[in-house]
Amino acid sequence: MPYVSSNPRQAYLNYRDLDLGLNTKNAKSSFKQAQVWGGKYFKDNFNRLVRIKTMVDPENFFRHEQSIPLMI
């Protein structure tokens, strides 16, 4: 499979590993809270993804339990 990492094995975004952590329900996700699970989930890409999310979706319309938070 050309699109799957093998060493180490890592999850794809559509798979939500809620055991790592999740955003607070009905509240704005804080960068500090999301950094705990985001660093485990997205590795070194987390900070870059936060910057992109802040530019592309400043209203945080696209969100779920483990969505990238805004840089606020």
Say yes or no to pLDDT of 4 above 70.
no
What is the secondary structure of 27-61 as a DSSP string? SPPPHHHHHHHHHHHHGGGHHHHHHHHHHH-TT--
pTM over 0.75: no
Whether pLDDT at 67 is above 90: no
pLDDT in tens, 6-54: 777 665 556 666 777 777 766 667 888 888 888 887 888 999 999 999 9
Selecting among 3, 12, 15, 41, the annotated active-site residue is: 15
Catalytic residue flag (residue 41) = no
